[in-house]
Amino acid sequence: MATSAVLTASEVSKLKKAPAVEGVLPLFHQRWSPRSFADREVSPALLQKVFEAARWAASSYNEQPWRFFLGRRGDETYAKIFESLGEFNQKWAQTAPVLILGVAKTRFSHSGAENRVALFDLGAASSYLTLQAAALGLATHQMAGFDPEKARKLFGIPAEYATGSVIALGYQGEPAALEDERLIQQETAARTRKPLGEIVLGEWGEAARL
């Protein structure tokens, strides 16, 4: 794909913005997951804000089972997270100034019993993080494509902690900077979502009345 034919970052942002729905916070329709990140660092003050948002997510028994490894480009934590990524994700994630690995404690502190919703709660905290990032003008992209066991070994993560996702965080970059036709096509494609009738049910296989 010729660089001249690629949409700009500004054009892609407009394309990715979902149609507004009255009464729904615009932020939910603005957030999306780019793979191209600008060569621009994220300030500690902004990082503190995104983690503060994650801190206040709801969790079973207020366990707050999430833990986040924060890697900033050039430090050892970043290098370890990057090493655990799959080859495809390494191709584009190397431009992100921040990489975050989320893990969740799978047993309750008050009883030692299994916390079967630990990863659910980590997901909630991660969602708060990504939404706060979007509100601050930052971009995020969550990844399942990494080697959990390699990450566990590199960081010495205890067995009672389950791995969640890796989050790339930074400022949106130009799609052409990806220099890969497949990645550029994904970056510039319109967003789609399943209709409410497919995901909100009254009975199995039957849409709920809304």
- Nearest CA to 15 out of 192, 190, 193 is that of 190
pLDDT class of 4 with cuts at 50, 70, 90: very low
- Give the per-residue pLDDT at 8: 96
User: What is the per-residue pLDDT across 179-190, written as a single tens digit (0 to 9) for each?
Assistant: 999 999 999 999
Find the mean pLDDT for residues 140-145: 98
In contact, 79 and 71? CB cutoff 8 Å = yes
Judged on CB neighbours under 10 Å (0-12, 13-18, 19+), 156 is exposed
CA dist 52 and 70 (Å) reads: 13
pLDDT exceeds 80 at position 1: no
Structure tokens at 182: 């497949």
CA 71, 120, 130, 180 torsion-angle sign: positive
User: What is the per-residue pLDDT across 86-132, written as a single tens digit (0 to 9) for each?
Assistant: 999 999 999 999 999 999 999 999 999 999 999 999 999 999 999 99
Structure tokens at 78: 């970043």
Structure tokens at 71: 């890697």
Domain ranges of the chain: 3-207
Place of tokens 């930052």: 138
- Give the per-residue pLDDT at 3: 43
CA 43, 45, 48, 53 torsion-angle sign: negative
Under CATH, what is the fold of the domain 3-207? NADH Oxidase (3.40.109)
